[in-house]
Amino acid sequence: MVQVIPKAAVKQAPAIKKILPWLSFLLVIVVVLLYFIFNHQVVKTTTALEQTEQELAKFRTQQYSELEEKILTFKTRVDDVADLLQDRKKLSNFFDFLETFVHPDIYFTSLSLRMDESDAKLEGVSNNFVSLGQQILAFKQDSFIQGAELTDISLDEEEGQIKFSIQIFLLSDKTAKENSR
């Protein structure tokens, strides 16, 4: 009689366990190959860039360098003139403003205007305090002016006039943009 002894079934490893080491090895090989390919491309591009710079250096003669320097100097001068013209427009606006808002009994004798700091100092004379007060009030109420202060005042006993200084703070471009919002 034949005895049949059941044998324990041999467990087979899942397919993923068999493939995973080979897949990892293949991935490492691909990464190494890509590294060398990209490194070769970087070297090739760097070489091409150096060759291009050398070719450009051949064409840069003394005359070319002088012309480039003249062009840069001219550009600087044009930029300076553009800035001056912009300031001129601001200055003309200021003088138009003064022409409109100066009290008839006030005579200004000196003007110090700094457009970069947006302020002006006016020195003048007046016959009475009322017209001086009206002048300061007119300056303070205008939208072109951020503020006006009487900084110095004195009496001229010989001529019977009031000498004064007014500091005017103009609206800068930044402040004007903020107020328009």
- Give per-residue pLDDT as tens, 124-179: 999 888 988 888 888 888 877 888 888 889 888 787 888 999 998 887 654 444 44
User: What's the chain look like in SS3?
Assistant: CCCCCCCCCCCCCCHHHHHHHHHHHHHHHHHHHHHHHHHHHHHHHHHHHHHHHHHHHHHCCHHHHHHHHHHHHHHHHHHHHHHHHHHHHHHHHHHHHHHHHCCCCEEEEEEEEECCCCEEEEEEEECCHHHHHHHHHHHHHCCCEEEEEEEEEEEECCCCEEEEEEEEEECCHHHHHHHHC
Entry pTM: 0.48
- Give the homologous superfamily in CATH for domain 81-180: General secretion pathway protein M, EpsM (3.30.1360.100)
pLDDT of 28 > 60? The answer is yes
Residue 90's pLDDT is what? 62
With bands split at pLDDT 50, 70 and 90, how would you rate the model's confidence at 123?
very high
pLDDT tens digits, one per residue of 40-75: 999 999 999 999 988 887 777 778 888 889 999 999
Mean pLDDT on 97-113: 84
